[in-house]
Amino acid sequence: MAFMEPAYKPDTSAEHFVANILPLCNGPSVTLRLQPSNKEYVVSRNLLCAESPVFSAMFNGNFKESQQQKATIEEMKDIVSVRNFQAFVQWLYQRTIEFDIRNPEKRISAAMELAKLGDMYKIHRLEQDTAYYIRKIMLSDLDPDEDACWRSPEANTVYLNHDHIVSATLLPPGNPVRTLLVEACVDDFLRVPSHKFSKEIMEYPSFGVEILQVVGRLVHEPRDDDEMFYFADPISNIMLRIGRDWRLCYDDEKPVM
């Protein structure tokens, strides 16, 4: 069971750091203060503004933050906290995401908060790296060399919970982390009648719509005839091939009335 490499993978090489990150570390700094914890972080203005158009407008526009080179950021439940802001600062300089949390489910919870912070400040690269980080957690218990004929439909979602799905729905469509959680639910959705997040799909229909969009994309991907999907048309009960515009014809085949 070989794993396919994701379309996006963070570049954490020394070459990339020296060429793209280090030059931005030079120059003026700005101070970011979290309230009410009163924690302060002094970071490179160039580095911060290169990643976030929100911070760029704040420190390079006609705002008081631009004059003072300081900004106060209000802590918000499940979005801005000391923990995830420190993780953001670490990522800003090192391009790695780390949480001192052993439990995989809780690590995903922390990463979901980081994703929402990235969305708030339009830090697209952080969103991509967070999605990659969560995907690694999802795959952490799977053996890529295992030659198994069967795997659990919940293999991708074993560490996902209700709050993770709700957090994903708060991210805009197309957000890398939201897309990842949608794609993680597809296996269970297709193979189990009462799948793990049936309730969440009913409560957040836009999330369910995106799962169906992924299903549509997957079933129409090119494949050999012997790998085609078949289904019984609910109206006529005729067996059809998914991905073809014609049905399987048999002489004695008639619609079930």
CATH assignment of the domain containing 175: 3.30.710.10
Pair 71, 128 in one domain:
yes
Q: What domain range is 42 assigned to? A: 14-219
Q: Tell me if 181 sits within 8 A of 130, measured CB to CB.
A: no
How far apart are alpha carbons 115 and 188 in whole angstroms?
A: 24
* Angle of helix 104-120 versus helix 176-184 axis, rounded to 10: 140
Pair 64, 142 in one domain:
yes
Pair 111, 234 in one domain:
no
In this structure, is residue 7 part of a structural domain? no
Q: What is the mean pLDDT of the chain?
A: 83
At 2, the pLDDT band (50, 70, 90 cuts) reads very low
In this structure, is residue 2 part of a structural domain? no
In this structure, is residue 209 part of a structural domain? yes
In this structure, is residue 4 part of a structural domain? no
Which of 106, 161, 108 lies closest to 131 in space, CA to CA? Answer: 108
Distances (CA, A) of 215 to 10, 36, 64, 157, 199: 27, 45, 48, 17, 19
How long is the chain?
Answer: 257
pLDDT digits (tens, 9 = 90+) for 45-83: 999 999 999 999 999 988 898 899 999 999 999 999 999
Q: Tell me if 56 sits within 8 A of 30, measured CB to CB.
A: no
Pair 187, 67 in one domain:
yes
At 6, the pLDDT band (50, 70, 90 cuts) reads low
Name which of 26-35, 172-181, 190-199, 221-230 the model is least confident about.
221-230
Average pLDDT of span 115-128: 97
How far apart are alpha carbons 255 and 233 in whole angstroms?
A: 9
Pair 213, 231 in one domain:
no
The predicted structure's pLDDT at residue 143: 53
In this structure, is residue 246 part of a structural domain? yes
In this structure, is residue 149 part of a structural domain? yes
> What's CA 157's distance to the chain center, in Å?
13
At 192, the pLDDT band (50, 70, 90 cuts) reads confident
Average pLDDT of span 174-179: 96
Q: Before 36, cis peptide (omega within 30)? A: yes
Average pLDDT of span 162-169: 97
Predicted TM-score (pTM) of this structure? 0.82
The predicted structure's pLDDT at residue 221: 72
| Helix, strand, coil in percent for the chain, rounding step 5 | 50, 10, 40
